[in-house]
Amino acid sequence: MKKSIFILLILAIWGSCFAAEWKLVWSDEFDSDGLPDSTKWDYEVGYIRNNEKQYYTEKRAENARVENGNLIIEAIKEEYENYHYTSASLHTKNTANWTYGRVEVRAKLPTGKGTWPAIWMLGANISEVGWPTCGEIDIMENVGYDPSHVSFNIHTQAYNHTKGTNKGTTVTVNKPWENYYTYAIEWFEDRIDFYLNNGKVFTFRNEYKTYKEWPYDDPEYLILNLAIGGSWGGQQGIDDSIFPQKYYIDYVRVYQDTAATTGIKKKVNEPRLGLLRNYPNPFNPTTTIVFDVPQQQDIRLQVVNVAGQEVASDMLPDVAAGEQRYPFNAAHLPGGVYFCRLQFADGSALVNKMVVVK
């Protein structure tokens, strides 16, 4: 007998299937020579983390400057504040942070044993909740002893490298120390997509469980840094003959979705609809519909096909406020595209796309 597989594709669409419409909301094109724009960038200073060997300096042109249309972060072998290397780490924690959107950075990387450049984001609440509870998004990481590979990762309380559970991927890149590449994420309520140039390389999906798995409904800020040595970058030592090393950033651009609620921190009392992914083995046609409601009310659950014909319906009376979970069995449905719709008492509705393959 032919086995069936029920696959849910979570799109987190709010009543429609339109693609994101990106609008530029923040950028730095690095067009003015000198120190980085202080209205956009701040600095980490000193020794920060990961057993790294550099001293991060502040407002020191030798380590961070805008020149010929690029932000240049330069690591230097020198004695400074009892350290043997200097570099820079720029961030937007005090100037700008975002919830959802597209973040893209075009850059050419340094290289050589000991270098560890990164483009990444941290939860703006890190001072209150700490790492990894705040959530981390690694848009790009590279270590100089493995120069042709670039990594894309997330770290949360449930999924992080200290537990060996972090989620991500590593791809081969043609001479990123000679060529510029665009490293980007597209961050939605239901997933974060990672891109190298125009190619998607990894997706991390919201499992609709707890904050431990998905802290990404809160603002994050951007970091650009060049570390030397450390727990990853220094695994094969530091080659002092490579210095100085320069990290070139052509531009940083942040977009938000004008076609959705993207870019606005989701309030806890806003309705939400999600579908938990299901990889049955053996075949199990049941998925879980997860939704939030702001107040107790009657809710109608409806599943329709692409022609708008209802194929399943259920009235859920007096649903309590907060997160609710509803098991849905699709065994009776033929293969095809469907839409799961929640109709609220105030007339509003949420819709998610659902694909059944048999």
Given 52, 74, 104, 141, which residue is catalytic? 141
Q: What is the mean pLDDT of residues 263-292?
A: 52
Q: Considering its fold, how many domains does the chain have in total?
A: 2
- The predicted-structure confidence for 13-24, as pLDDT tens digits, reads as follows 333 334 678 999
**Residue 136 annotated in active site:** yes
Specify the amino acid at residue 79.
Answer: E
- Residue 84 confidence (pLDDT) above 70: yes
CATH at 276: 2.60.40.3080
CATH number of the domain to which 162 belongs: 2.60.120.200
The pLDDT of residue 135: 96
pTM of the model: 0.71
Q: 211 and 87 in one domain?
A: yes
Q: Are residues 98 and 142 in the same domain?
A: yes
To the query of whether residue 141 is one of the catalytic residues in this protein, the response is yes
Q: Which of 52, 104, 136, 220 is catalytic?
A: 136
Q: Radius of gyration of the chain from Cα atoms? A: 23
Do both 141 and 118 map to the same domain?
Answer: yes
Query: Domain limits at 328?
Result: 5-11+267-357
Nearest residue to 109 via CA among 249, 313, 291, 255: 249
The torsion angles phi and psi of 251, rounded to 5 degrees, stand at: -160, 160
The answer to the question of residue 154 being in a domain is yes
- For residues 280 and 215, membership in a common domain is answered with no
- The residue out of 257, 285, 305 marking a domain boundary is 257
Rounded Cα gap, residues 286 and 6, in angstroms:
8
* pLDDT score of 271: 54
Same domain, 32 and 94: yes
Q: Are residues 156 and 305 in the same domain?
A: no
| DSSP states along 219-237 | -EEEEEEEEEBHHHHTTT-
pLDDT for 227-276, tens place per residue?
A: 999 999 999 999 999 999 999 999 999 999 876 543 334 433 445 565 55
Same domain, 305 and 284: yes
In this predicted model, what pLDDT tens digit does every residue of 95-135 receive, in sequence order? 999 999 999 999 999 999 999 999 999 999 998 889 999 99
CA–CA separation, 259 vs 271, rounded Å? 18
| Same structural domain, 289 and 241 | no
In a domain, 112, yes or no: yes
